[in-house]
Amino acid sequence: MKTYLTYGFYMALGNALIVFALYFLGLHSEAAKLDLAQKIQMFGSIGIAIACLIYGTREHRDALSPTEAYGYGRALSTGFMIVLFASLFGAIFNYLYAAIINPGFIEVLLQAQSNKLEIAGMSADKIEQVNSMTRKMMKPAIQAGIGFIMGLFFGTLFALITAAFLKRTTREEIIAS
């Protein structure tokens, strides 16, 4: 349990540090800069997730006896638990960020969406309709819930991949095959 909690916290902390860096660099204050911020955050988050899953799963595996089986399922469950805790911590951070730290960020997101729709040729009244519907979904609590689900989904995908490389076959499995 300690490994799951520790590496889940590290994953959420790493992602929070990326968000803070983008915030302090001013990339979360203007719609024009948001595209770059989202790309940086996406690639940074992928790197942090993979690193935390690898190190956490390795630590959990190495804490066991070398003769004890640590197959794909066990490696995957370790990765999933790390991702579960990371998603929980991340949802709390996302709520605090949108509600307290940077409450104007939702308006920046809406402006960026409006700019994209305008470039695509949508009329002003249609853009306003889309924005009013989107604004209802942009409440901090809803954003935190969506972030939790998305973090769990994509984190589990990464755990599926890393588990394939971090499983350990026992000596008996090697002899049997």
Q: Per-residue pLDDT tens for 65-116?
A: 888 889 999 999 999 999 999 999 999 999 999 999 999 998 898 888 888 8
Place of tokens 């940077």: 102
* Distance in angstroms (rounded) separating the CA atoms of residues 51 and 42: 14
Q: What is the dihedral of CA 111, 113, 118, 122, to 10 degrees?
A: -130
Both structure tokens of 176: 């049997």
Mean pLDDT computed over 36-46: 96
pLDDT at residue 123 in the model: 84
Name the domain count of the chain. Answer: 1
Q: Is the dihedral of CA 34, 35, 36, 42 positive or negative?
A: positive
- pTM value is 0.88
Does the pLDDT of residue 128 top 70, yes or no? yes
pLDDT at residue 11 in the model: 98
Question: Tell me, what amino acid is at 21?
Answer: A
22-26, 29-33, 156-160, 162-166: which range is least confident on average?
29-33
Query: Phi, psi at residue 75, to the nearest 5°?
Result: -65, -40
Structural domain range at position 102: 2-176
